[in-house]
Amino acid sequence: MPENKLVRFENIDGVGVVTIDNPPVNALSPGVPEGIIEAIERGNADPAIRAMVLIGAGRSFIAGADIRTFGNRPPPVLGKRAHDALDASQKPVVAAIHGYALGGGFEIALASNYRIAVPSAKVGLPEVLIGIIPGSGGTQRLPRLIGPKAALEMIVSGRHVPAEEAHRLGIIDELAPEGGDLRQAAIAFARGVADTKPLPRIRDHDEKLAEAQADPGMFDAMRKSIARRARGQKAPYHCIQSVENACKMPFDDGIVRERELFNELENSAEARALRYAFFAEREVARLPDIPRETPLRPIKTAAIVGAGTMGGGIAMSFAEFGFPVQLLEIDEDALARGLARIRSTYETSVKRGSLSTAEMERRLGLIEGVGSYDDIAQADVVIEAVFERIPVKEEVFKKLDATMKPGALLYSNTSGIDIDIMANATKRPQDVAGTHFFAPANVMKLFEVVRGAKSALDTLMTAMDLGRKIGKVSAMAGNGDGFVANRSRTPFGTEMIILVEEGALPEQVDKVMVDFGYPIGPFATADLSGLDIGYDSRQRRAAQNPNYRKLPIADHLVEIGRLGQKSGAGWYRYEKGDRTPHPDPEVARIIKDKAAELHIAQRNFTDEEILRRLLFASVNEACKILEEGKAYRASDIDVMWLNGFGFPRYRGGLMYWADGIGVAEIYRQIVQWHQRYGERWAPSSLLRQLVETGTPFRDAKPGGR
Ligand code: 3HC
Ligand code: NAI
């Protein structure tokens, strides 16, 4: 038999060790399943082999099907797949798991007779996150192994389950010592079970399915519980359907049906958008003008200046990922308030059951309040999160320059101030960059790295890496007002208020965007963040630009004390102690009066017009950003919208969505609105070029770099 390069077979004293070697994550690319089938058949045919071990080379077991092949290969032929070969094996097969066993990789482990894993390994069926369902038996075997309820939870969430939890659930038979020799442990395990008869095969066991007979309502209850989260999507419902089938059909019928459900989804709009998002989030890490091998500066300890809303959230992000972090405030009272707010946020999570008390204490133990710059001088990185005022920021950076050890990274969390102002306040501008978190900083995943004129390459690369290390998605942005994320979102924020001036109501705009897939509407979001934030930035912009388009209704609300949820009223009204937004006739009256005062005619809007007004305004701005070379590619802007602004992931992102409409149509509409509404709709020249050359946004080449 010719040796398959992706899958090796070795006889180690009677145990056939099958090693999958397809870097970087041993995806099941063409050749890998075939290699596994050959190896299992070879082990069965060889009388010298008593048992087999399946193991991954490199950093992982198997991360699943090769996502790159989805949608561009002929439909898979229902036939002899790797798990059929495993089912047919007469000799025990032990899956030895380290790193990840996900999707099709986990399904191979489930079709094996036994599973052993190191504690750091993770297993799961994350297919739903890319808009499909497990297609190689996962929805049929997992409910048989751990019961339909636990299986539903895993499959519908797509979460990665740590090996220790998987062991408790009964997925993993044995935990091997971390840092030990997993291969040896698996070989020893395989020897121990070599003579077991009959071989345990998950497909033969229906006992756990009885749980569904006892609680037949569990599937509908699950459908109900995801209704809000899964709006507009099919995959989560197909997952539930397939697990329900496992409880109602014989195994082989369930498998056939699972594959049909899988095939229905593979090329759905939702699956294509989610695959796009998956690869966009990997592409964003590639910086075309910074060599990949740029050495990173080591980061073991961090400090934060300013323990307010953002500083506290940033400290929590560091602590979550095990970094000791110091907090420096303006005085003891402010520090005590900051630390108390962190504790109370954790306590709320403990109350809700999403955090254990022990984990809270571990994290709190990593956060240390300090009293002076000398205390933080040895930190590897410091993030400034003080008031958004230039003189305050300059003062802080001067002090950091005077005290921080040489080579310390000096980052600013400013949301809009020119990074070079902070850099130039120091004698080490090469060590300065922006690291822009999004509120709440401990929750939102976007981490925008802002490049100053003098930021050294390793300052930027280390920032990108740091974001990943604290669980964020890092994206690089050029310096300039609002950087990339907020700048591209600003026209949306302006347009929604102008729509209201023209006769739409906040609740109507919110409904359109929620129906589109946002978790909450933009006016409700504004109330949540506080209307004073936008007010301040409008005042600043108006002072700088005499042609600035004022937003009198929004300004008026703030001036009469309607600051949003925190003051009990904003675009909506709120009952005491309740966060539910209620449409407010008072706001409708204010809108009407102000519009009359400003001589703005009132009219009705279709949902489509509202959606397009908001999103096209931002698409146009995104083109200007690309044209100026402030972002590397349209997909980076998508990554920012997905992770910073709650844009529905199953729509891929702002620019991916726009490509679905097409550059020509968007340009046509923008030109029309330019004629009607004036300068703010002036089309970007990049957009015009894209139309002339028939280039989609995803292929737009940014200028300036
Ligand atoms: N197919 C193709 N490429 C993959 C892949 C996959 N399943 N999983 C990872 N990769 C690639 C990434 O694109 C990346 O490539 P790059 O270096 O060229 O950018 C490289 O592997 C490393 O990936 P990450 O940067 O994401 O590495 P991490 O260590 O951060 O994360 C991971 C590893 C958790 C495995 C993560 O890559 C991941 O979540 N992968 C997808 C897992 C998945 O969805 N599996 C299910 C696939 S569908 C399936 O199996 C269908 C079956 O039921 C029939
Ligand atoms: P905040 O007002 O809640 O916190 C600022 C904190 O800095 C206060 O606790 C204050 O006492 C402290 N401080 C002020 N001067 C200081 C000094 N000289 N030394 C030490 N501490 C000092 O403000 P918030 O919202 O946390 O914003 C901080 C920064 O983060 C700003 O630059 C803001 O633009 C930016 N930002 C804010 C976002 C938000 O949604 N709130 C989002 C992203 C960035």
pLDDT tens digits for range 180-213: 999 999 999 999 999 999 999 999 999 999 999 8
- Closest residue by CA, ligand 1 atom 1: 66
Task: Name residues contacting ligand 2 (CB within 6 A).
Answer: 305-311, 328-330, 334, 338, 385-388, 392, 396, 413-415, 437-439
Strands (E), 420-531: 432-437, 446-451, 473-478
Edge-to-edge order in the sheet of strand 100-102: 100-102, 122-124, 161-162
pLDDT exceeds 50 at position 666: yes
CA distance 157 to 135: 16
Give residue 61 CA to ligand 1 midpoint distance, Å: 12
Question: Which residues on adjacent β-strands are paired with residue 515?
Answer: none
pLDDT exceeds 50 at position 705: no
Write down the pLDDT at residue 547: 83
pLDDT exceeds 80 at position 704: no
Closest by CA to 67, choosing from 129, 5, 159, is: 129
Structural tokens at position 404: 């921080």
Q: Which of 331, 386, 483 to mutate to test the pocket of ligand 2 (most atoms within 8 A of CB)?
A: 386
Cα angle: 675, vertex 678, 683; to 5 degrees = 75
Write down the pLDDT at residue 3: 61
Write down the pLDDT at residue 541: 84
Which H helix or E strand runs over 15? strand 15-20
Write down the pLDDT at residue 544: 86
CA distance 99 to 79: 29
pLDDT tens digits for range 82-114: 888 999 999 999 999 999 999 999 999 999 999
Give residue 533 CA to ligand 2 midpoint distance, Å: 12
- Closest residue by CA, ligand 1 atom 38: 63
Write down the pLDDT at residue 78: 37
Give the ligand whose atoms come closest to the C-alpha of residue 399. 2
If one compares 633 and 547, the residue with the highest pLDDT of the two is 633
Exposed e or buried b for every residue in 11-24, given b needs 16+ CB within 10 A?
eeeebbbbbbbbee
Write down the pLDDT at residue 83: 87
102: CB partners within 8 A, 6+ apart: 62, 63, 64, 122, 123, 124, 125, 126, 160
Q: Are 132 and 271 in contact (CB under 8 A)?
A: yes
Q: Are 682 and 654 in contact (CB under 8 A)?
A: no
If one compares 641 and 539, the residue with the highest pLDDT of the two is 641
Give residue 386 CA to ligand 2 midpoint distance, Å: 4
Question: What's the distance, CA 496 to chain centroid?
Answer: 26
Q: If you average pLDDT over residues 566-588, what whole number do you get? A: 95
CA atoms in the 13 A half-sphere facing the CB of 406: 0
Q: Three-state SS across 623-642?
A: HHHHHCCCCCCHHHHHHHHH
When pLDDT is cut at 50, 70 and 90, the band that residue 390 belongs to is: very high
Structural tokens at position 151: 């299986």
pLDDT tens digits for range 511-526: 999 999 999 999 999 9
Q: Which of the residue ranges 18-22, 149-153, 159-163, 577-581 would you say has the lowest mean pLDDT? A: 577-581
Q: If you average pLDDT over residues 544-570, what whole number do you get? A: 93
Instruction: Write the DSSP string, 81-98.
Output: -HHHHHHH-SS-EEEEE-
Write down the pLDDT at residue 2: 53
Give residue 153 CA to ligand 1 midpoint distance, Å: 21
Q: If you average pLDDT over residues 664-684, what whole number do you get? A: 96
Give residue 26 CA to ligand 1 midpoint distance, Å: 9
- Average pLDDT score over the chain: 95
Write down the pLDDT at residue 4: 72
pLDDT tens digits for range 441-498: 999 999 999 999 999 999 999 999 999 999 999 999 999 989 999 999 999 999 999 9
pLDDT tens digits for range 39-81: 999 999 999 999 999 999 999 999 999 999 887 665 554 345 8
pLDDT exceeds 80 at position 387: yes
Q: If you average pLDDT over residues 225-229, what whole number do you get? A: 94
pLDDT tens digits for range 231-288: 999 999 999 999 999 999 999 999 999 999 999 999 999 999 999 999 999 999 999 9
663: CB partners within 8 A, 6+ apart: 687, 690, 691, 694, 695, 696, 697
Q: Are 470 and 320 in contact (CB under 8 A)?
A: yes
Write down the pLDDT at residue 73: 61
Active-site residue set: 107, 127
CA distance 302 to 318: 8
Closest by CA to 535, choosing from 515, 568, 560, is: 560
Give the ligand whose atoms come closest to the C-alpha of residue 383. 2
Q: If you average pLDDT over residues 635-639, what whole number do you get? A: 98
For the chain, give the percent of residues with pLDDT over 90. Answer: 91
Q: Which of 67, 132, 258, 470 to mutate to test the pocket of ligand 1 (most atoms within 8 A of CB)?
A: 67
